[in-house]
Amino acid sequence: MRKWLLLLTLTSLAVILVACGEDTTKGNGSTDNGTTGDNAEAAKSYTFKLGHEAAESHIKFKVAEKFAEELEKASDGRMKVDLYPSNQLGKEADMAQQVQSGTLEFAILSNGTMSSISESLNGWFMPYLFEDIKAAEKAVDSAEAKQMMTDLEQKNMIGYGVFFAGQRHIFAKKEINSVEDLKGLKIRIPGSPVFESYYKAINASPASMPLPEVYTSLSTGVIDAVDTDLDAALSQKFYEAVENLTLTGHIIFPEVVIASKTLIDGLNEEDQKLIADTWNEVIKWGIAESISKNENLLNELKDLGVKVTELSNYSEFKEASQKVYDQYSSNEVIKAFIEANQ
């Protein structure tokens, strides 16, 4: 009898030990591929969401697509990214909130939206701070630009950097050659206080409105002009409503790459680095694409019959810009950014 009880006890103990050795935890929809310990953590698989507002022809979409491809490749298929373009997840302000709350992993949002969340990002909007995108590219890795990304952590966001939709120019019903030509001109601007300050400094009449409303407003005379990059000018067909494009190049327009800090903090160090390294390379690729694409866009607009004017004298525009610099230099990061790039 005792032998039988001893045998039963040993058998039960063996079953318990085997069960304790099995790892059945798969948190966050991930799988451990049969590994345990640190290897199990490293082998988890993820499917992330990435949202933005642009259509497939825009540089934003192409950068998002490139990130999805490169991250899947770099992670050996462990990390996939589902793309949600064209405001499928809501407007930019909605997506920003989703990233902050941790319900959206990644987003590419315009600096107009992001600078309303974190003030220091307005540094990128200082008029005539950069001659062109190539000049702005040199500032991307500066200490001041990196501090702008660090500032986003206070908003529960990780900022990986910026690439550029292009330079801002003016599409108008009349040819623009001087500050005087802009006096009283009703011009559509992005929703940004910096743009408003700049145009008021040159005595224009700025008005913010959603991009989809611009074409009709130009056609019906609600506005006389639009502040735009070449990509939007072509994709939104502004050339059908007005024919004069003045290459003012007054502001570089960044797109900000962000992630949920909640998400990133929950990953192991190796996966955090993998994502950061992938974004770093994709952002560089996006800047190069933007430089190349803008040259092609200008030629396309010329072929469509757009009358292109290049300013011969920028001095009066730059003089007005100093008022904007003074207004925003109370922010130490913006002040340092201006001084580093003037």
| Residue range 75-125, pLDDT digits in tens | 999 999 999 999 999 999 999 999 999 999 999 999 999 999 999 999 999
Q: What is the pLDDT of residue 13?
A: 38
Q: Is the pLDDT at 11 greater than 50, yes or no?
A: no
List Cβ neighbours of 240 (8 Å cut-off, separation of 6 or more): 215, 219
pLDDT over 90 percentage in the chain: 79
Specify the pLDDT at position 35: 41
Distance CA 174, CA 156 (A): 45
Q: Do 32 and 40 meet the contact criterion of CB atoms below 8 Å apart? A: yes
- What 3-state DSSP class applies to 198? helix
Return the bridge partners of 81, or none: 48
Query: What is residue 315's three-state secondary structure?
Result: helix
Residue 281 exposure: Cα atoms within 13 Å on the Cβ side: 12
pLDDT of residue 54: 87
- pLDDT of 41 reads 53
Q: What is the torsional sign of CA 209, 105, 99, 123?
A: negative
pTM summary value: 0.84
How many C-beta atoms lie closer than 10 Å to residue 178's C-beta?
13
**Over 80: is that where the pLDDT of 187 sits?**
yes
CA-closest candidate to residue 153, choices 3, 289, 264: 264
How far apart CA 93 and CA 150 sit, in angstroms, is 20
pLDDT tens digits, residue range 19-63? 433 333 333 334 444 344 455 555 799 999 999 998 888 899 999
* Structure confidence at residue 191 (pLDDT): 85
pLDDT at 37: 46
Answer whether 140's CB lies under 8 Å from 340's CB.
no
296-300: average pLDDT: 92
